């Protein structure tokens, strides 16, 4: 099936089998390998992307379901040069070690902070409870997200 | 864990969707949020020949609140429920339960219709539907019909739906000002399926409880109302003694099996505690 | 050596690519003509493999080939299907229990590889699996140490026993000590099966260049040089013909990077069909194919004087090893009996450790192998002893902690491997004091056992040591780049612990240049140093870092020699200043010496011992069996923290893994050896909302005397004492019920049952 959608602001057209997940489409057809696959059954959150502005598990979406949608991956949440305030905060707080869960964390945190720049630690933990990390123990990730709130508050109208 | 092969259709009308389901000999499945169905495909425990994507059926996305109650279109997502400010008063028990559903990303995609059709015995929405005596509207090649929640769930992952039928709407009776309610769930981690949960509401008639509704999930092969517990509550003031009796009646009424997460004996005791704490919350 | 960068909390350079989604993990690699491997795994736990008929699979469009054991019984493989040899403790007794790379006479666990499908896509390969006909004559499954010990059903007919070995840990004369002891206590305890699940599952990509007879394998981790040695032997190529490339690695924890069957099967497949082949493990596979760990039962007895001084420890540990002896499978089973005493002074020690083969996934190491289990046993015993003798449990620990004047303190010796070990340095009691202070033990401990707002409060304390820095050797090489910057090439491996930054810090200080002059740090791949070892046993900083120091010394010597000649001055007059080499009144940019390279090494046969204390304040909802952590403090002395930020990350990260093992994680089988925890909905990992209240304090009071950095391996301390600490806190909380937890994990159902049993 031919599908057309927008990825990180650019149009994408791919020919896919209906059974191809959005995660695999992004990684293998579009070579956007920043989105990672950690479980393929909707638990670990490493595959989180934004679809029409909402954080979703791309391993649970069919690529064909993204037809007509706007998809944003971690690459689309990054700058050409340097790091965004959220990424800078992660680095400052040592909120990553092996880096495998990191794109999912960044994408989910970005979605949360974009809608709720005033979220508190409990809310951050609740939202990130759907993203598994095996290296950090989460404390530094929560701290990083909380510090990044300031940048999203400034940006909010 | 790649999905098995299937055909895919994305109809733009309900009748088209029904026709597609009817035309595939029981081998087609509707696709709503995909949060329950896609993992089943990934583990290859389901292999439908056709997936009928319901995402273009806009008429299934409404939340209608009238004096008759709350009508949730089958494609209403958990997020829509949590964001609809009217529901805080229009159906606080529904909101309390939905707050326990899964995780942030899943709540952005998962639907009420999908959860009902999937019928996991530990899922919150089926529990609310049964407790509140919901009416489930479905449509298939034989036309529309309404199924009462009590008849809808027939076993683990089994419902009264025929292969060509889709849920269009779930209607919860109007939430009355005299309702007192509580919802208690215990899961291993936040967002996990419940080890056991209880949804409770009754009419407060000048301190006396009437028309008690007690529903539980996670302790049987389907969500259940517990009439023996309701009988303990009806016509009584909800005192500590009555609550203790209700707890005992709840444990006695269920016979859960052992599984990898907990023994049957544990769940039996747990559901009693859930009922007890739900009642304490209701009286608070 | 100035310490500008060593000791500083420098932000990691590797973070930049990870945060931007530009890491390169093995599944991110693509080459033209790639075939995808999908593995057919046994769904039977124990049986005779009668036949494998792949003809149906070959008819599926997109399937290129199916590999079975038959393909390895040709003239190229005169000894038949290759066997994966053990890397650590490779005793002759273990040989019959080593794993063939593919099943060929028997299957011995659910998940054992039976066939490899090579297809145009993973999806097609999985479709084809269903068409492979496998005939297995089922045999009775052995699903526990108890069942194994009966030897009714034996996994390996050649030996006739399911017990592959017994380790003996000995010191002094325990039996005599017990005879004379005024007080003893004996307990049976168990730790549940769990493992070092990595967020990135395993993967291997192999490319065979038939023209140049060269094999390139990507997806290497942990011990690539050793794995190359094994592969070379198995596949019949010289080591020089094989390159193992380590890319970015999504976690290791002891489990990833050992030589698994797939590490032969995929390169073999690539050579067999002369096409590049990639295999990426999915999560369903990972749960049943990556090394399991930690399932032990112990029957231990402690002997003390009336004042609580420990006299002796004796008993037995049984480890459920799974179906085969993996490359490092014996480590945990040897460590548990040898290091069960932890940081405590125990003059007489006699603990036997029996290794039982069962029809389950084979066992390997997981962070703190055997030490997590040992700490649980010891810490539980100490709290019980304290209660029996009416001694405060903190005081009891003080009396028995190895004192700072006692180092090196000799630990028990393990036979038959003749493993001697001793502590290096440290003031264990000082970390206890610091922990109690930070934890506010004096006031918080008063809550122990109290019921407040429907929850019981409990306090637990546990002390630990962490063995690190395994030798024998490590290599590092420094080279001047064309632009005058410097690259460090490491023989150690990265598993996510931040080595690129840490080695840059060490090299920069050793050469006294700004850190950005160390432009690149490469690690793990076999092409970059002559002789590398890898990342295990918390050795990367000590071994790799010390090798960097040696390399820097040799580099400067070479630079002085070369510059001295160029400048015509004495070597001693040459200095390096940022990017300039300065001689006797003259200078040249360092890039004039591009290509100058020096390799250094560090040899070591002793272990470092980082140490510390855990303290936990929990609440228990006895009706739910639910435990919540109110506060948890870890104090760990690491000798020298090269990068305090990353050390803290190791402590908290390993602590949360330990809490997972203490409370959540449990790999389960039924009595037929059927694997029950087949998804992440069944195998429960800690999430961000489970353990929010954790704190750690890293101290550097006692550098290690056994390496020039003074550092100690510090990646495993957070995990070692977590089980014992939590179980002690639970016992403390439920003391009014006289509950004694003896089994991990402390699931709600188990905690609830303890309370019910106590009520009877």
The predicted-structure confidence for B144-169, as pLDDT tens digits, reads as follows 999 999 999 999 999 999 999 999 99
Cα C407 from chain centre: 26
Contact B42 A55 (CB under 8 A): no
Whether residue C645 sits in one domain with residue C621: yes
Contact B102 A130 (CB under 8 A): yes
| pLDDT computed for residue C141 by the predictor | 98
Contact B39 A21 (CB under 8 A): no
Whether residue C557 sits in one domain with residue C669: no
> Which among C578, C603, C628 is the end of a domain?
C603
Whether residue C564 sits in one domain with residue C504: yes
- Strands of the sheet containing A10-15, edge to edge, are A10-15, A2-7, A70-72, A48-51, A54-57
**Do the domain assignments include residue C339?**
no
**Do the domain assignments include residue C616?**
yes
Whether residue C712 sits in one domain with residue C644: yes
| pLDDT computed for residue B90 by the predictor | 98
* C530 pLDDT more than 90: no
Q: Which of B241, B272, B80, B70 is nearest to B171 (CA)?
A: B70
Query: Distance between CA C225 and CA C222 in Å, rounded?
Result: 9
Whether residue C651 sits in one domain with residue C592: no
| pLDDT computed for residue A156 by the predictor | 67
Q: Is B193 on the interface with C (CB under 8 A)?
A: yes
Answer yes or no: same fold for A2-75 and A85-155: no
Specify whether the CB–CB gap between C612 and C463 falls below 8 A: yes
Question: Which structural domain, as residue segments, surrounds residue C712?
Answer: 435-469+607-760
Which residues from chain C sit within 8 angstroms of residue B1, using beta carbons? 126, 282-284
User: Helix/strand/coil (H, E, C) string of B105-160?
Assistant: HHHCCCEHHHHHHHCCCCCHHHHHHHHCCCEEEEEECCEEEEEEHHHHEEECCEEC
Contact C123 B2 (CB under 8 A): yes
Looking up tokens 């790649």 gives: B2
Average pLDDT over residues C24-33: 97
Whether residue C570 sits in one domain with residue C485: yes
Chains linked to A by 3 or more Cβ pairs within 8 Å: B, C
Contact A41 B55 (CB under 8 A): no
Query: Distance between CA C464 and CA C427 in Å, rounded?
Result: 12
CATH topology of domain A85-155: DNA polymerase; domain 1 (1.10.150)
pLDDT confidence band for C595 (50 / 70 / 90): very high
User: Full-prediction pTM beyond 0.90?
Assistant: yes
* C464 pLDDT more than 90: yes
* C19 pLDDT more than 90: yes
| pLDDT computed for residue C602 by the predictor | 92
pLDDT tens across B230-273, in order? Answer: 999 999 999 999 999 999 999 999 999 999 999 999 999 999 99
Conformation bin of residue A54: beta by default, left when phi > 0, alpha when psi is -120 to 50 = beta
The domain that holds C737 is classified in CATH as 3.30.365.10
Mean pLDDT rounded to a whole number for chain C: 95
Q: Is C126 on the interface with A (CB under 8 A)?
A: no
Which residues from chain C sit within 8 angstroms of residue B188, using beta carbons? 664, 684, 747-748
**Do the domain assignments include residue C141?**
no
Q: Which of B250, B251, B268 is nearest to B259 (CA)?
A: B268
Contact B104 A42 (CB under 8 A): no
pLDDT tens across B96-150, in order? Answer: 999 999 999 999 999 999 999 999 999 999 999 999 999 999 999 999 999 999 9
* C491 pLDDT more than 90: no
Q: Which two tokens stand for residue C590?
A: 């360092």
Listing DSSP states for A111-128 in one string gives HHHHH-TT--HHHHHHHH
Q: Is C273 on the interface with B (CB under 8 A)?
A: no
| pLDDT computed for residue C500 by the predictor | 86
pLDDT confidence band for C526 (50 / 70 / 90): confident
Closest by Cβ to B270, choosing from C624, C681, C682: C624
Angle, vertex CA C330, rays to CA C328 and CA C332, nearest 5: 95
pLDDT tens across C143-197, in order? Answer: 999 999 999 999 999 999 999 999 999 999 999 999 999 999 999 999 999 999 9
- Going by their DSSP bridges, the two strands B179-186 and B196-205 should be labelled as antiparallel
* Element at C407 (helix H, strand E): none
Closest by Cβ to A41, choosing from B39, B79, B105: B39
**Do the domain assignments include residue C487?**
yes
| pLDDT computed for residue C716 by the predictor | 83
Average pLDDT over residues C595-614: 93
| pLDDT computed for residue C120 by the predictor | 98
Whether residue C740 sits in one domain with residue C659: yes
Q: Is A150 on the interface with C (CB under 8 A)?
A: no
Buried/exposed C518-544: b ≥16 CB within 10 Å, e otherwise: beebbbbbbebbeebbbbbbbbbbbbb
* A51 pLDDT more than 90: yes
Average pLDDT over residues C2-6: 85
Average pLDDT over residues B68-75: 98
Contact B262 C624 (CB under 8 A): no
Closest Cα in chain B to A41: B39
pLDDT confidence band for C678 (50 / 70 / 90): very high
Q: Is C644 on the interface with A (CB under 8 A)?
A: no
- Going by their DSSP bridges, the two strands B69-73 and B63-66 should be labelled as antiparallel
pLDDT tens across C262-310, in order? Answer: 999 999 999 999 999 999 999 999 999 999 999 999 999 999 999 999 9
Buried/exposed C340-376: b ≥16 CB within 10 Å, e otherwise: bbbbbebebbbbbbbbbbbbbbbbbbbbbbbbbbbbb
pLDDT tens across C645-661, in order? Answer: 999 999 999 999 999 99
* B195 pLDDT more than 90: yes
For chain C positions 474-503, those within 8 Å of chain A (CB to CB) are 495-498
Whether residue C727 sits in one domain with residue C637: yes
> Which among C584, C603, C622 is the end of a domain?
C603
Whether residue C617 sits in one domain with residue C559: no
Whether residue C636 sits in one domain with residue C597: no
Count structural domains, chain C: 2
**Do the domain assignments include residue C375?**
no
State yes or no: cis peptide before C420, omega within 30 of 0: no
Coil, helix or strand for C694? strand
For chain B, domains (ranges, CATH) are 7-53 (3.30.43.10), 60-173 (3.30.465.10), 179-283 (3.30.390.50)
**Do the domain assignments include residue C189?**
no
Contact C282 B1 (CB under 8 A): yes
**Do the domain assignments include residue C566?**
yes
> Which among C558, C584, C603 is the end of a domain?
C603
> Residues C480, C482, C488, C489: is their CA dihedral positive or negative?
negative
> Residues C450, C452, C455, C457: is their CA dihedral positive or negative?
negative
**Do the domain assignments include residue C451?**
yes
* A157 pLDDT more than 70: no
Instruction: Please report which residue ranges of C198-356 form alpha helices under DSSP H.
Output: 224-235, 262-273, 283-289, 330-339
Can you name the residues that pair with C694 across neighbouring β-strands? C632
- For the domain spanning A2-75, the CATH number is 3.10.20.30
Whether residue C720 sits in one domain with residue C619: yes
**Domain boundaries along the sequence of chain A:** 2-75, 85-155
* B172 pLDDT more than 70: yes
C73 by Cβ neighbours in 10 Å (0-12 / 13-18 / 19+) ranks as: middle
How far apart are the CA of C715 and the nearest CA of chain B, in angstroms?
A: 26
Whether residue C753 sits in one domain with residue C667: yes
């Amino acid at each position: 099936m031919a599908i057309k959608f927008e990825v990180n602001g650019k149009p994408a057209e791919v020919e896919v089998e209906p059974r191809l997940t959005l995660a695999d489409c992004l990684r293998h057809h579009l070579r956007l390998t920043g989105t990672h696959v950690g479980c393929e059954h909707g638990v670990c959150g490493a595959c989180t992307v934004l679809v029409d502005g909402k954080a979703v598990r791309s391993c649970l979406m069919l690529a064909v379901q993204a037809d007509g949608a706007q998809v944003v991956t971690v690459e689309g949440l990054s700058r050409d040069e340097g790091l965004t305030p959220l990424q800078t905060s992660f680095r400052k707080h040592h909120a990553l070690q092996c880096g495998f869960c990191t794109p999912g964390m960044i994408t989910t945190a970005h979605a949360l902070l974009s809608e709720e720049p005033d979220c508190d630690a409990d809310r951050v933990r609740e939202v990130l409870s759907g993203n598994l990390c095996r290296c950090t123990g989460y404390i530094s990730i929560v701290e990083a997200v909380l510090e990044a709130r300031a940048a999203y508050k400034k940006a909010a109208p | 864990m790649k999905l098995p092969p299937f055909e895919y259709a994305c109809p733009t009308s309900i009748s088209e969707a029904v026709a597609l389901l009817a035309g595939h000999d029981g081998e087609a499945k509707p696709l709503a949020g995909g949060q329950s169905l896609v993992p089943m495909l990934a583990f290859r425990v389901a292999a439908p020949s056709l997936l009928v994507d319901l995402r273009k059926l806009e008429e299934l996305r409404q939340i209608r609140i009238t004096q008759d109650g709350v009508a949730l279109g089958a494609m209403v997502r958990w997020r829509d429920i949590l964001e609809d400010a009217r529901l805080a008063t229009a159906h606080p028990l529904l909101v309390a339960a939905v707050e326990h559903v899964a995780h942030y990303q899943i709540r952005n995609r998962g639907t009420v219709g999908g959860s009902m059709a999937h019928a996991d015995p530990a899922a919150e929405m089926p529990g609310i539907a049964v407790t509140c005596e919901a009416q489930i509207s479905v449509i298939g090649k034989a036309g529309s019909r309404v199924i009462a929640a009590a008849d809808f769930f027939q076993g683990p992952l089994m419902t009264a739906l025929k292969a060509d039928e889709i849920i269009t709407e779930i209607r919860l009776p109007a939430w009355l000002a005299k309702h007192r309610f509580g919802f208690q769930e215990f899961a291993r981690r936040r967002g996990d399926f419940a080890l056991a949960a209880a949804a409770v509401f009754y009419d407060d008639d000048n301190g006396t409880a009437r028309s008690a509704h007690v529903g539980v999930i996670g302790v049987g092969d389907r969500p259940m109302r517990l009439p023996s517990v309701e009988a303990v509550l009806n016509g009584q003031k909800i005192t500590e003694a009555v609550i203790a009796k209700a707890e005992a009646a709840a444990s006695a009424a269920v016979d859960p099996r052992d599984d990898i997460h907990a023994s049957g004996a544990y769940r039996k005791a747990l559901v009693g505690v859930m009922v007890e704490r739900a009642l304490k919350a209701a009286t608070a | 050596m100035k310490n500008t960068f060593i000791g500083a909390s420098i932000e990691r350079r590797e973070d930049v690519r990870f945060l931007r989604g530009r890491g390169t993990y093995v599944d991110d690699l693509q080459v033209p003509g790639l075939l995808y491997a999908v593995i057919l795994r046994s769904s039977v736990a124990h049986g005779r493999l009668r036949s494998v008929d792949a003809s149906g699979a070959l008819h599926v469009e997109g399937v290129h080939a199916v590999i079975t054991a038959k393909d390895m019984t040709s003239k190229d493989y005169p000894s038949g299907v290759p066997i994966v040899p053990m890397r650590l403790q490779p005793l002759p007794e273990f040989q019959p229990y080593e794993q063939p790379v593919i099943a060929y006479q028997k299957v011995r666990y659910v998940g054992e590889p039976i066939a490899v499908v090579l297809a145009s896509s993973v999806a097609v390969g999985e479709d084809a699996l269903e068409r492979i006909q496998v005939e297995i004559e089922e045999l009775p499954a052995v699903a526990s140490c108890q069942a194994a010990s009966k030897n009714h059903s034996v996994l390996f007919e050649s030996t006739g026993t399911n017990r592959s070995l017994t380790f003996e840990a000995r010191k002094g004369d325990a039996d005599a000590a017990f005879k004379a002891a005024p007080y003893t206590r004996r307990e049976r305890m168990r730790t549940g099966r769990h493992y070092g699940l990595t967020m990135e599952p395993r993967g291997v990509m192999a490319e065979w260049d038939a023209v140049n007879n060269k094999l390139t394998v990507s997806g290497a981790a942990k011990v690539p040089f050793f794995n190359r040695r094994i592969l070379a032997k198995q596949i019949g190529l010289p080591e020089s013909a094989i390159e193992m490339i380590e890319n970015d690695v999504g976690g290791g924890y002891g489990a990833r990077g050992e030589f698994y069957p797939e590490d032969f099967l995929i390169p073999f497949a690539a050579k067999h069909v002369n096409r590049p082949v990639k295999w990426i493990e999915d999560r369903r596979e990972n749960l049943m194919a990556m090394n399991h760990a930690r399932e032990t039962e112990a029957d231990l007895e402690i002997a003390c004087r009336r004042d609580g001084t420990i006299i002796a420890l004796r008993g037995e540990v049984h480890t459920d090893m799974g179906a085969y002896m993996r490359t490092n499978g014996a480590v945990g089973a040897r460590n548990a009996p040898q290091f069960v005493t932890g940081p405590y002074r125990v003059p007489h020690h006699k603990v036997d450790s029996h290794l039982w083969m069962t029809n389950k996934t084979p066992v390997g190491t997981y962070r703190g192998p055997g030490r997590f289990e040992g700490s649980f046993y010891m810490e539980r015993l100490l709290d019980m002893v304290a209660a029996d003798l009416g001694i405060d449990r903190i005081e009891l620990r003080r009396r028995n902690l190895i004192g700072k004047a006692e180092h090196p303190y000799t630990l028990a010796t393990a036979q038959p491997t003749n493993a001697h070990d001793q502590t290096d340095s440290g003031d264990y009691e000082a970390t206890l004091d610091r922990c109690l202070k930070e934890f506010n033990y004096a006031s918080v401990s008063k809550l122990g056992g109290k019921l407040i707002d429907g929850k019981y409060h409990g306090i637990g304390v546990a002390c630990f040591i962490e063995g690190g820095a395994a030798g024998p050797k490590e290599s590092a090489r420094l080279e001047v780049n064309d632009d005058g910057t410097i690259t460090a090439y490491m023989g150690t491996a990265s598993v996510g612990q931040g080595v690129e930054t840490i080695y840059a810090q060490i090299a920069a200080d050793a050469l006294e240049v700004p850190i950005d002059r160390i432009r690149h740090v490469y690690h793990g791949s076999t092409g970059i140093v002559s002789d590398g070892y890898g990342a295990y046993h918390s050795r990367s900083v000590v071994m790799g870092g010390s090798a960097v120091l040696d390399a820097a010394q040799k580099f400067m010597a070479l630079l002085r020699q070369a510059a001295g000649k160029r400048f015509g001055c004495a070597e001693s007059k040459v200095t390096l200043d940022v990017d300039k080499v300065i001689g006797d009144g003259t200078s040249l940019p360092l890039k004039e010496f591009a290509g100058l390279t020096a390799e250094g090494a560090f040899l070591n046969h002793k272990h470092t011992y980082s140490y510390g204390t855990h303290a936990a304040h929990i609440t228990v909802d006895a009706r739910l069996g639910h435990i919540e952590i109110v506060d948890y403090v870890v104090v760990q002395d690491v000798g020298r923290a090269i990068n305090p930020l990353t050390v803290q990350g190791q402590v908290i990260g390993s602590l949360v893994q330990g809490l997972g093992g203490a409370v959540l994680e449990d790999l389960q089988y039924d009595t037929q050896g059927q694997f029950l925890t087949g998804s992440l909905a069944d195998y429960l990992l800690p999430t961000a909302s489970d353990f929010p209240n954790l704190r750690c304090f890293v101290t550097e009071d006692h550098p290690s005397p056994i390496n020039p950095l003074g550092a100690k391996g510090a990646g495993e301390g957070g995990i070692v004492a977590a089980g014992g600490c939590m179980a002690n806190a639970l016992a403390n909380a439920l003391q009014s019920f006289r509950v004694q937890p003896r089994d991990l994990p402390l699931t709600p159902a188990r905690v609830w049952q303890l309370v019910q049993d106590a009520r009877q």
